[in-house]
Chain A
Amino acid sequence: MEGFSIKIAKLESTMSLYGREVLIAFAIVVFGLILIKWINQALKRVFMKLPISPAKGATVRNIIVVLMSAALLSFAAIQIGLDARPVMRFLAILTLGAIGMVVVFRPLIPSLPFKVGNTVKIGDLLGKIEATTILNTRLRTFDGKTFFVPNRKILDDIVINYHFSDSRRIKINVGIRYDQDLMKAKQVLESIMIEDPRVKPKPGPVVYVLNLTKNCVELGGRCWVDNMKYWVTKCDLLEKTKFRFDNEGIVIAFPQLDVNYYNKSESPVYAGQSRLQGHGASFESTTE
Chain B
Amino acid sequence: MKISEGLKVIEKGWIIKPKGYRVKYQKLVNSELITEYSPDLEDKPLDSDVVAWRYAWKLYVATKSDSTEISDGELINIIVVDDSDNPVKYYATNQLEVFNHKENNV
Chain A positions near chain B (C-beta within 8 angstroms): 191, 194-198, 201, 204, 229, 232-233, 236, 239-240, 243-244, 247-248
Most buried by A among B18, B20, B48, B94: B48
A233 to B94, CA, bound (A): 19
Interface string of B12-41 (1 = CB under 8 A from A): 001111111100000000000000000000
Q: Which of B35-60 touch A at CB < 8 Å?
A: 47-51
Q: Which of B15, B49, B50, B94 contacts A194 (CB 8 A)?
A: B15
Do B93 and A247 have beta carbons less than 8 Å apart? yes
A residues near B50, Cβ cutoff 8 Å: 236, 239-240
B48 adjacent to A232 (CB under 8 Å):
yes
Q: Which of chain B's residues has its CB closest to A239's CB?
A: B50
User: What residues of chain B lie closer than 8 Å to A243, measured between beta carbons?
Assistant: 91-94
Query: Known interface pairs A194-B15, A194-B17, A195-B15. Does A244 touch B91 (Cβ–Cβ under 8 Å)?
Result: yes
**In whole angstroms, how far apart are the Cα atoms of A229 and B14 in the complex?**
25
Contacts of A233 in B (CB 8 A): 48
Between A and B, 29 residue pairs with Cβ closer than 8 Å are: A191-B14, A194-B14, A194-B15, A194-B17, A195-B15, A195-B16, A195-B17, A195-B18, A196-B17, A197-B17, A197-B20, A197-B21, A197-B47, A197-B48, A198-B47, A198-B48, A201-B17, A204-B7, A229-B47, A233-B48, A236-B48, A236-B51, A239-B50, A240-B91, A243-B93, A243-B94, A244-B94, A247-B93, A248-B94
Interface residue B69 (Cβ < 8 Å from any Cβ of A): no
Inter-chain contact A191/B48, CB cutoff 8 Å = no
Q: Given A191-B14, A191-B15, A243-B92, output 4 extra A-B contacts at Cβ < 8 Å.
A: A197-B47, A233-B48, A236-B48, A240-B91
What's the Cα separation between A282 and B94 when bound, in Å?
A: 47
**Docked pose: A281 CA to B93 CA in angstroms:** 46
User: Chain A contacts of B20 at CB under 8 A?
Assistant: 197
List, in ascending order, chain A residues with CB within 8 A of B48's CB. Answer: 196-198, 232-233, 236
Most buried by B among A229, A247, A248: A247
Considering only CB atoms, which chain B residue lies closest to A204 in the complex? B7
Contacts of A232 in B (CB 8 A): 48
Give 1 or 0 for each of B80-93: 1 = CB within 8 Å of chain A CB.
Answer: 00000000000111
B72 interface residue (CB < 8 Å to A): no
B90 to A: closest C-beta gap in Å? 9
Report the Cα distance A201→B20, complex, angstroms: 15
User: What chain B residues lie within 8 Å of A240 (beta carbons)?
Assistant: 50, 91
Residue of A nearest to B16 (CB): A195
User: Which A residues are CB-close (under 8 A) to B15?
Assistant: 191, 194-195
- Minimal beta-carbon separation of B89 from chain A (angstroms): 10
B11: chain A residues at CB < 8 Å are 201
Q: A191-B15, A195-B15, A195-B17 are in contact. Are A239 and B47 (CB under 8 A)?
A: no
